[in-house]
Amino acid sequence: MSSSAESKEYDVIVIGAGVIGPCIATAMARQGRSVLIVEREWTKPNRIVGELLQPSGLKALKQLGMVQAVNNIDAIHVDGYYIGFYDKNVYVTYPEKSVLKDIDTEPVPKAIFKGDEDKMVTDNTLDMKDWDNTSNVRGVAFHHGDFLMSLRKICLDEPNVTKLEGTVISLLKDGNKVIGVKVADKGEFRSRITISCDGIYSKFRKELGANNVPSVGSYFVGLDLEDAVLPRKNHGHVLLGKMAPVLVYQISPHHTRILCAIRSQKLPKREQVLTYLKDEVLPQLPESIQPSFMKALESDDQDVYKSMPNQYLVAKQNKIPGLICLGDSLNMRHPLTGGGMTVGLNDTVLMAKILSDLSNEELSDDGVILEKMLQFHVDRKGLDTVINTLSIALYSLFAADSKPLSLLQKGCFFYFHRGGECVSGPVGLLSGLIPKPMVLFNHFFAVAFYSCYINFKEKGWLGFPIALWENIVALITAAFVLLPNLFKEIFS
């Protein structure tokens, strides 16, 4: 198939140039495929999503030879998390670099061609000498729009990639096989494989099944803080208290993102949201953050905050010939743990590796591709199950809206206080570097039993019968929080 600008036939068509689209398009192009990437809006977006990349996401960008996308965008390195619980706090540092020995860090075939595409460089905000001298892995935070424009530039510099601005309105089909796309006002384009990376509001994921629709559990409202003073530099902040969880992380030298969860499946009216932020969130924030938060709230901009639904969607196996769903189009989880880009980028690495030994002609071979899709579905399970289940389970604990959940929330905080394996295990799971569901199971129930122990201790001998009853309810609640999601992820 040809790849000239006028051509209407390609080996691969990618729908969407968000985080994942440019990455899979680049990988395909470097493997010698002609690629058309269609995006409805190529200008820089201003969104509150995808701003903290976990260490495993950074590792995936290296494997894709695209890690320099985090350079020269004023990115801030992240060493771990500060967890605030009412007036107490604990630091949780990302695992040691040795954890990388146990996971796949091999580059995608043909992704590294000059030799330095997997290496970050020193720039205004990232110091590689300092980075190399630390013994622990790091993540990175940035303005989403800047990161996206960097990824898009790397992608569009590939000679095999053709860019098209337009909205894909439908898929072209031959029977049940997808053979290309129809783009509004631009016409029809054909391909051997169409990869749908159309994100959170994906129009095309329903091709995988009529019931393939996400559920909304809660909302995040996000504000931009100027020159906020955070309790712990270079750390993501998770703040727990009477309010639903609040996330805070610095995304450039002068800007900090604050995301406040709203415990509701429907977004309340603007006035209610502003009242909640003023009356319930503001007083619970660490004192050093309050002035910048107050200033952001007082802005007379209509857009004081932006909101996003927190959605959940278990991945379905790609079984439709000619179509692959990737990124949020395939699978979503709660953004509390900042795992969306990490799952999407690691899926991209896996997909590019799995397809790498196929000739361009073989991309049209449904039998071969469907076999590869089964392999992809099975091989991605470990990371996918850990990140997705953890995000839902942690949100349930951190947004605790019942007595048993509050008991587990407290136990979780004091579990981290123990340090050692009680920190390195959970943060290894969260950073995407321990893709083992069994480790998640063990730590989650260790937290549940530790919560019971704390409750017994606090209640003393006199309160033993009450504590016993509360602990039984807490353990049942823990099982209900973890197991259904864990099984759904493993057996989907």
**Judged by CB under 6 A, does residue 411 bind ligand FAD?**
no
**Judged by CB under 6 A, does residue 339 bind ligand FAD?**
yes
**Judged by CB under 6 A, does residue 189 bind ligand FAD?**
no
Structure token pair of residue 212? 């393939």
**Judged by CB under 6 A, does residue 197 bind ligand FAD?**
yes
State the residue for tokens 């631009």: 186
Give whichever of 318 and 455 is closer to ligand FAD, judged by the CB atom.
318
Binding segment toward ligand FAD, per CB under 6 A, in 94-102, 276-284, 322-330, 369-377: 322-330
CB of 171 to ligand FAD, least distance (A): 10
**Judged by CB under 6 A, does residue 200 bind ligand FAD?**
yes
CB of 231 to ligand FAD, least distance (A): 19
**Judged by CB under 6 A, does residue 80 bind ligand FAD?**
no
How far lies 486's CA from each of 213, 314, 379, 389, 390, in Å?
A: 19, 11, 16, 6, 9
Interactions with ligand FAD, residue window 129-168 (CB under 6 A) = 167-168
State the residue for tokens 């000498």: 129
Distance of alpha carbon 177 from alpha carbon 183, whole angstroms: 18
**Judged by CB under 6 A, does residue 328 bind ligand FAD?**
yes
Compute, in degrees rounded to 10, the torsion defined by CA atoms 272, 273, 276, 278.
Answer: -110
**Judged by CB under 6 A, does residue 274 bind ligand FAD?**
no
Cβ–Cβ under 8 Å, residues 323 and 369: no
Select from 3, 10, 11, 16 the one that contacts ligand FAD (CB under 6 A).
Answer: 16
**Judged by CB under 6 A, does residue 351 bind ligand FAD?**
no
- Kindly report the three-state secondary structure assignment for every residue of 329-380: HCCECCHHHCCHHHHHHHHHHHHHHHHCCCCCHHHHCHHHHHHHHHHHHHHC
- Kindly report the three-state secondary structure assignment for every residue of 264-311: CCCCCCHHHHHHHHHHHHHHHCCCCCHHHHHHHHHCCCCCCCEEEEEE
**Judged by CB under 6 A, does residue 49 bind ligand FAD?**
yes
The residue with its CB nearest to ligand FAD is 18
Select from 84, 199, 426, 435 the one that contacts ligand FAD (CB under 6 A).
Answer: 199
**Judged by CB under 6 A, does residue 342 bind ligand FAD?**
yes
How far lies 193's CA from each of 36, 156, 204, in Å?
A: 11, 19, 14
How much of the chain is in helix, strand and coil states, percent to nearest 5? 45, 20, 35
**Judged by CB under 6 A, does residue 224 bind ligand FAD?**
no
Binding segment toward ligand FAD, per CB under 6 A, in 43-51, 118-126, 372-380, 389-397: 43-51
CB of 331 to ligand FAD, least distance (A): 9
Interface residues with ligand FAD (CB under 6 A) are 15-21, 38-41, 48-53, 57, 167-168, 197-200, 203, 220, 308, 310, 327-329, 335, 338-342, 344
